[in-house]
């Protein structure tokens, strides 16, 4: 988080524990302008024995080609790892020096880095920082600033926001679910609230606005803790490889995205009225992975994805959202991480993790603005395949050689999410990041669910006979026939997993089966047409889509009934 403020000299800073607040100078104060540097130090997350912090340096003196920031702790804090700077410690004294790629610091320019540390007792913000030996102004991380009315008071941040908390039930979705035959069995389940266009902030066609949802969340919260899940989904040139969920903003409209979409959301979420809520944001599904898999020279490249990689607006948009929303102390940002059937191959896996970090350090964001990642959002990949594993061999061939697995490293979402988490930590993300898995439509139950491994005739009969995921191909993603509700939302279900969630509301269409005029910017994608014979992204297989589907996001009763019928665990 890289909020920039003007503060008085370090000697005048008031240090108040882990979230100490500096007194802010009047904007335009001539004395502040003469100070050679400003340091913005924020404790982003804190638990019993550890914390993460972000630091932004602003250089007000001559341009630098390298820099070194130093401070001392009054307590027993110990830095254990850092990112975007070489951070070392000797006793109480800490030094953060630039990396090779961020040594340039222009006059008026800023550089940001983050780190993780341990402590016991108090965790006071350091009183003094020096940049290349010169004392800087201190903005000591207080989330409350009298010059910024959108900053709510600090809440008690937790490592896993889902622990010990109820999760918001969207009344609009719940009403639709309850109106379906048998739908009352799941109408009380929590689902994501999708902000898929600017109009959604104030409510579409008389529907609930963002403030309406937050007010209702306060009512549902009562005296306990409550998570509300928001899907941030309106990038310029959205979904460059899929027409069904194209959005309202053109490829170059990054400024509109920032000022008309993200900024108003940040203002609302920052209202102190909502400071007691745990607000989980899922940031821009189906965006960053496209910049790895669907660009030239890949066979799956699309012209739209080439444009979005060239103009950088996906990276800029995600970074801006993380930065701005991350400024709100009770917001927990989770970045979309595709699914194993998209990114699980060797040439996609590491490259995608690197792309996520690029976005997480763009537009003023730092990796500390990322609380975790979410896999399988709005997709169908099985949570856990129990009848075969990636290490199995049949008739002299590895499971990886089967047509279904096709040399992927992973067979299901749980193994993929846990492995991706490890990869992300290894490249500089916080070691406490958590993963979410969307299980809203990956149950694959019903009469066609295998009860054991397939025949060992060959590796294909073995895998195809035992796999729960009954799609024709892993690349099929639109309104899949035979799909069922998956595991019910729950906190901390497995190592490294913060929660299973229903981020995609069951019953909302992925896209229309044929072209339908609409004012939402959503096109017609042949992958939603049940008669379509495929493309390179699904290896030219049939689409597996249900017929007669409405435009994406609209209620699709036939799909909802299919999901209940094939639910696993089954509905009672």
**437 and 377 in contact (C-beta within 8 Å)?**
no
- Which of 40, 151, 196, 286 is labelled catalytic? 286
Instruction: Give the pairing of strands 129-131 and 134-135.
Output: antiparallel
DSSP string, 428-446: TS-TT-EEEEE-TT----S
Let me know if 286 is a catalytic residue: yes
Let me know if 510 is a catalytic residue: yes
CA distances (Å), 417 to each of 232, 290, 454, in order?
21, 18, 25
User: Exposure string (b/e) for 491-502, b if CB count within 10 Å is 16 or more?
Assistant: bebeebbbbbbb
**463 and 526 in contact (C-beta within 8 Å)?**
no
- Which of 196, 239, 510, 525 is labelled catalytic? 510
**544 and 481 in contact (C-beta within 8 Å)?**
yes
Identify the CA nearest to 249 among candidates 199, 294, 207: 199
- CA 484/CA 461 separation, integer angstroms: 23
- CA 68/CA 510 separation, integer angstroms: 50
Residue 287's SS3 state is coil
- CA 387/CA 486 separation, integer angstroms: 17
| φ, ψ (nearest 5 deg) of residue 43 | -80, 115
- CA 472/CA 462 separation, integer angstroms: 16
Distance of CA 165 to the CA centre of its chain: 20
What six digits make up the tokens of 543? 């689409």
Indicate the helix (H) or strand (E) that contains 557.
Answer: helix 557-565
**Which residues sit opposite 278 in a β-bridge?**
227
What six digits make up the tokens of 525? 């994608």
For 482: left if phi > 0, alpha if psi spans -120 to 50, otherwise beta; the answer is left
User: Exposure string (b/e) for 311-336, b if CB count within 10 Å is 16 or more?
Assistant: eebbbbbbbbbbbbbbbbbbbbbbbb
Q: Could you list the active site residues?
A: 286, 510
């Amino acid at each position: 988080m890289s909020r920039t403020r003007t503060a008085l000299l370090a000697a005048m800073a008031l240090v108040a524990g882990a979230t100490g607040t500096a007194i802010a100078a009047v904007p335009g104060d001539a004395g502040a302008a003469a100070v050679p540097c400003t340091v913005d130090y924020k404790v982003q997350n804190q638990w019993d024995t550890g914390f993460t912090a972000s630091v932004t340096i602003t250089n007000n003196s001559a341009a630098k080609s390298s820099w070194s920031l130093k401070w001392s702790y009054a307590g027993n804090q110990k830095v254990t790892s850092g990112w975007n700077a070489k951070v070392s410690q000797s006793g109480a004294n800490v030094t953060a020096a630039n990396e090779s790629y961020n040594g340039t610091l222009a006059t008026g320019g800023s550089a940001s880095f983050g780190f993780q540390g341990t402590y016991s007792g108090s965790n006071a913000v350091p009183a003094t920082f020096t940049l290349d030996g010169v004392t800087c102004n201190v903005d000591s991380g207080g989330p409350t600033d009298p010059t910024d009315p959108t900053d709510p008071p600090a809440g008690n941040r937790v490592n896993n926001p889902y622990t010990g908390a109820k999760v918001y039930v969207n009344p609009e979705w719940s009403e639709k679910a309850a109106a379906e035959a048998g739908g009352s069995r799941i109408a009380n389940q929590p689902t994501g609230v999708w902000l898929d266009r600017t109009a959604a902030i104030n409510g579409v066609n008389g529907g609930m606005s963002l403030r309406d949802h937050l007010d209702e969340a306060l009512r549902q919260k009562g005296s306990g803790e409550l998570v509300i899940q928001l899907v941030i989904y309106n990038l310029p040139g959205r979904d460059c490889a899929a027409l069904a969920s194209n959005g309202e903003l053109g490829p170059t409209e990054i400024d509109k995205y920032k000022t008309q979409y993200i900024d108003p959301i940040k203002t609302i979420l920052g209202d102190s009225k909502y400071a007691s809520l745990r607000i989980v944001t899922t940031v821009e599904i189906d965006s960053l992975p496209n910049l790895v898999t669907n660009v030239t020279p890949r066979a799956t490249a699309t012209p739209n994805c080439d444009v979005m990689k060239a103009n950088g607006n996906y990276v800029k948009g995600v970074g801006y959202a993380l930065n701005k929303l991350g400024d709100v102390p009770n917001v927990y940002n989770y970045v979309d991480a595709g699914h194993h059937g998209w990114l699980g191959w060797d040439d996609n896996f590491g490259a995608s993790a690197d792309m996520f970090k690029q976005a997480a350090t763009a537009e003023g964001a730092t990796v500390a603005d990322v609380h975790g990642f979410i896999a399988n959002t709005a997709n169908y990949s099985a949570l856990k395949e129990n009848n075969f594993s990636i290490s199995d061999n049949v008739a002299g061939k590895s499971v990886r050689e089967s047509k279904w697995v096709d040399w992927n490293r992973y067979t299901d979402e749980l193994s993929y999410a846990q492995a991706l988490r490890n990869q992300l930590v290894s490249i500089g993300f916080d070691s406490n990041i958590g993963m979410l898995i969307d299980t809203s439509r990956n149950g694959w139950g019903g009469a066609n669910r295998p009860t054991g491994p397939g025949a060992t005739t060959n590796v294909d009969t073995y895998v195809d006979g035992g796999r729960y995921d009954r799609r024709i191909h892993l690349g099929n993603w639109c309104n899949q026939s035979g799909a069922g509700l998956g595991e019910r939302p729950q906190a901390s279900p497995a190592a490294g997993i913060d929660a299973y969630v229903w981020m995609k509301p069951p019953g909302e269409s992925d896209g229309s089966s044929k072209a339908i005029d609409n004012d939402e910017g959503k096109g017609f994608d042949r992958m939603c047409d049940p008669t379509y014979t495929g493309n390179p992204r699904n290896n030219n297989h049939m689409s597996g889509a249900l017929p007669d589907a409405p435009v994406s996001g609209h209620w699709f009763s036939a799909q909802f009934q299919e999901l209940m019928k094939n639910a696993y665990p089954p509905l009672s």
